[in-house]
Amino acid sequence: MQLRDCTHDEHADAMLAILNEAIVGSTALYDYRPRSADSMRAWFRAKEAGGFPVIGAFEGPVLLGFASWGGFRAWPAYKYTVEHSVYVHRDHRRRGVGAALLAALVDAARQRQVHVMVGGIDAGNAGSIALHRRLGFVHAGTIRQAGFKFGRWLDLEFHQLTLQMPQHPVDG
């Protein structure tokens, strides 16, 4: 398995397939309808504008999964906090792909002077919760019945990793 940056032109279609499978078949995304190719174009533009990483895991040309982050909240005091996502193709889960991607995101966060990484995880997603715990994330809270999908209420857990960055944080 190799990790490398993803681009819209080379990887958007494969990434979209992974996302859409997660939307229609799981509670990994609290979304109802598959996303469009146009949404991926906008997604990549936002990642590029924010300087956010988009990391893919590959076996040869095959995308096994991908990970990224975005801003946590819109106010400036949150500038050292990011919310990340990791998605693995259903045929490649439980093979260490998610762990490799999340570890790469943590490394990228340290390089970019991020202080806190936050993952919002459906409370029923035991695999993702265990993965985050293995990499040092701790449970930071649960919003009960935050979402409604597949005819039931969903609890959203937040898990965070606090990094010893930045060395010299500043206001403003």
Percentage of the chain modeled with pLDDT above 70 = 100
Whether the per-residue pLDDT at 168 is higher than 90: the answer is no
Q: What's the whole-number mean pLDDT along residues 149-171?
A: 95
Neighbours of 4 (CB within 10 A): 12
Q: How far apart are CA 11 and CA 7, in angstroms?
A: 6
Q: How far apart are CA 136 and CA 134, in angstroms?
A: 6
Neighbours of 132 (CB within 10 A): 25
Would you place residue 51 in the very low, low, confident or very high pLDDT band (cuts 50, 70, 90)? very high
Whether the per-residue pLDDT at 172 is higher than 90: the answer is no
Q: Give strand pairing partners of 138.
A: 160
Structure confidence at residue 108 (pLDDT): 97
Q: How far apart are CA 45 and CA 142, in angstroms?
A: 31
Burial of 144 (0-12, 13-18, 19+ CB in 10 A): exposed
Structure confidence at residue 144 (pLDDT): 98
Whether the per-residue pLDDT at 65 is higher than 90: the answer is yes
> Which domains does the chain possess?
2-162 (3.40.630.30)
pTM higher than the cut 0.75: yes
